[in-house]
Amino acid sequence: MKFKLTLLLTLITLTFSFGQDNRAFSAGEKLTFSAAYNMSGILTDIAEVKMVASQMKTSSSTLLHLKCTATTYSNFDNFFKIRDLYESYVNPRTITPYLYNREINEGGYYKYVKYKYNYKSNLVESLIRKKSKNFESGFWDKKEKVKISGGTRDIVATIYKIRTLDIKKAPVGASDTFTVLFDNKEHKFRFKLLAKETINTALGKKLCYKLAISAAGSNVLKGSNANILWLTADENKVPVYAKFKIAVGSGELKIKSATGLKN
């Protein structure tokens, strides 16, 4: 079983418009989630997911460091230990990424991905590093320049970008697609606004946007309207709950705490 942060992050990614500036979050925000997986018909909490926004100053600008981690609870480490990191360094106003890192440690499997963006040429300098099958020989690296579309982002930058968008203007039933660069390939995802719905969360009762998400031409997400995300219908647009059905099973993501909210 591979309970990857990738699959959780996929559920909280969509777009309506790329024209709106960020008024939803800022440095200092921290979101914590419990991740549950369906094990023999029982939803079992197996990991904690954290999303943290912080400020990083360079010699020429101030960026937002958006960091997502997944860590199995200690009682599951012997079964399948996960220590995953996804992070993106972005423009704090437009959430346009400059640098992206992904480091996967799952049950002995290791993978590292690094992207450097050049939007003037619509290119990404990519480095992918994996552990060799023959452990004694260490790692192998693959470097590549990947052509991207103008609006393409990595998974982390896209997650945060959706929170800046004016979803309240979208009518129920509206749908669209967006593009995410993952493993050096652009992937098209489709979302549909199903309803506004009030649900109970660890943050209290919240009116939410209920969204269905699917992947075009992919079998990663299964079922019709089986992958659902709830975002708070306020200025923060916090992801508070997600249900997913994937090739290796199903599960859910529930918020545990949210601090440092901007609004």
Domain boundaries, the chain: 5-258
The residue whose two tokens read 């969360």 is: 201
Q: What is the pLDDT of residue 39?
A: 76
pLDDT tens, 148-165? 998 899 989 988 988 888
Render each residue's pLDDT in the chain as its tens digit; 263 residues.
444 455 555 554 444 544 478 999 999 999 999 999 887 788 889 999 999 999 999 888 899 999 999 999 999 999 889 999 999 999 999 999 999 999 999 888 899 999 999 999 999 999 999 986 655 567 889 999 999 998 899 989 988 988 888 888 889 988 777 788 999 999 887 778 899 999 999 999 999 999 888 777 655 565 567 788 999 999 999 999 998 876 666 789 999 999 999 99
Write out pLDDT tens, residues 192-243.
Answer: 889 999 999 999 999 999 988 877 765 556 556 778 899 999 999 999 999 8
Nearest residue to 37 via CA among 8, 67, 77: 8
With pLDDT > 70 as the criterion, what percentage of the chain qualifies?
A: 85
Query: How far, in Å, CA of 113 to CA of 105, rounded?
Result: 12
Name the CA radius of gyration of the chain, rounded. 18
**Rounded Cα–Cα distance for residues 13 and 17 (Å):** 13
* Gap between the Cα atoms of 144 and 125, Å rounded: 6
For residue 175, the surrounding DSSP H or E stretch is strand 175-182
